Structure 1
Amino acid sequence: MKYLRFLLICVPLSFIGYFMNWSATVMFILTCISIIPLAGYLGNATESIAVYTGPKAGGFLNATFGNATELIISFFSIRAGLYEVVKATLAGSVLGNILLVLGCSILAGGLKHKVLKYDAKVGRSTATMLLFAVVALAMPAVFMSDLSENIIVSKYENFSIITSVIMLCTYVVGVVYSFKGQNDLYEGMEEDEEAEWSLPISITVLAIATILIAIESELLVSSIEPMTAAVGISEMFVGIILIPIVGNAAEHSTAIIMALKNKMDISIEIAVGSSLQIVLFVIPISVIMSLFIADTPMSIIFKIEEIFLFAASVFIVNHIVKAGRTDWMEGLKLISVYIIAAVGFFIL
């Protein structure tokens, strides 16, 4: 965080740029950079509050605010009618966590420690749940693959809503289960943990960071369409590659730092746990949210290339988690797959 705080200078610059009508490209860059440190402060404040509230309430708090940045960006994107950008951003968050974050963590940790060992039990439950979540996410696309877009929107939008409700309920039950049934996995993890700030300061930082992220997200979303038109890149690439990297930058750095400290269990939980929250919590909430803030509900149907990458990524992460050990070469493979996917979406 001590390095990220220097990026906060972009927050007032983005406000100045808005009132002075700077170009959409400059505004997009400024808002992206602004969100990185704000997301970091949001995460730190949440973790500090979790220390004071205890492991159960703290776990719920982390689960709720873990992907607050993506949820806020989704809100403004849905309000602007950029449904494909929303789905691309959420898909990109999942792929980025599994392929890029986990890959960079394994690569960095493996280069330093050669072989990384971890308890396969810690991430197995989350990875298995992620597998079921992706299967559920793929079903609407499979059932509606032969139907035209008009028919999907007019006749089968309830399918997306029902699927979202079921996935959200599954997530809630999973959170309760993890608190009550898996306490042994987390015993002793809180003993040495200290809060970075006092409780009043943590709550204040959380509130300010959330408000500023909301403002920056609205500025970001308003600049996407004119920026992509001016630069000549697709909204799909912006949504699936650029925005997820920005929104998860602070979390990504934490996972890599933990791997360098040979704490691969935590790195895996950050990458896989965050992906699970996106699939079972943020995506369903976004669909339900669209009922109230948009004229037409957002569908939960993803593109075929997104579904394929979902399935392939989850298969890979399950293999890695269950192995109990890994090295830098596996990290390099994950990063390579992500780069190939990024190139594909860039030329799409």
Structure 2
Amino acid sequence: MRISLEPPLIKARVKEFHPLRALAWKTDGTAAWTEPIDNPKISSDNSSSVSVERQKGMRVNAPGHCTLRLEHEGQYAEAAVEAGAHPRGTVTDWVTALPPVSDIVWTEKTGLLIATREPTIWQIDPSTRKLQPAAGVVPKPPFYGGVETLARAGNGDLAIHLFGEPDLLVLTTNSDLSASYTVSKPEPENSIFAFAWQGTDLIIAMHTQTLWRYTPDGQYALLGRTPHLIKRLAPDPDTGKLLGITVETKRQQICRIDPDQPDAMEELLADPLQTNTLAALAPARSGEIYVTDFHGGRLLCVGPDGSLTTMVAGLKNPNAVGVDGDGTVYVADFADQAVIRRVMP
């Protein structure tokens, strides 16, 4: 039907690389889908400001405005680039035209890992900013829903909860994420709600409000019960404990959780939300915590004093958030033609 350059509008600073994709939009008369264009012919009308390298992608060399042009089989597409000293807090599209994004995780070694409702887990290379496959998962029939949640361990292992699957899958870093093993749920008759790594141990929260520790030798240990249901977990880099989104009827709270004392949660929100709308969270080393308001379409920030402020509004069902080592925040949609946006530090 057409071709496109994604994102169609790019805001970047000098010396930055930026993800850039060339897509072909196709249809068979009933369904419609996109496919990446192999070896796309992309040119810049101001190469002194922005250049496109085949192996490294798009690079900003100097301030200025330019247009990137794509030609493929007689069709043409353009993307505009604004290269300059964008102020802190600037929100820009980072990757566009994605399937619904279920989770994102940043690590220094792998860059930004992107899980969608498709079998491929994607990676944005931390040095070149190129989007490339990082790993593949195989959902079992009759479920073809891709990844529900993922968590990255300090040693590089990647724990995954597949949509519709009862257990967890761990992709090993020593196999370059090409081999895996299964972590069965500790309570066969109940469901896993959340999980996160604490060192090399996997902490698993069940819908029965029990908290379990899974160790590398394949052993489970019951840590206790939590006062409220945990729907999302993440490591807390400042304390070595865990952060979680908890639910009590329609009351939601952000808590700090010590796995050795799960019955004594530290509530962090000064005013808990009287609604069930928080979807994901990611801590920053400044002591702030970023959370997504799924139904409200917002990216929120929890301050050290428990205050809750809006950073970005007007999003489309934000379901995932991550923070990189420079303090850049990434937030992603759970919707068709999803967008991952970045908030410049």
The two structures have a TM-score, normalised by structure 1, of 0.23
Which structure ranks higher in relative contact order (CA pairs < 8 Å, sequence separation ≥ 6)? Answer: 1
Give the number of the structure whose residues are more often strand, by fraction: 2
TM-score, normalised to structure 2, is 0.23
Considering fraction of residues, name the structure with more helix: 1
Larger gyration radius, structure 1 or structure 2: 2
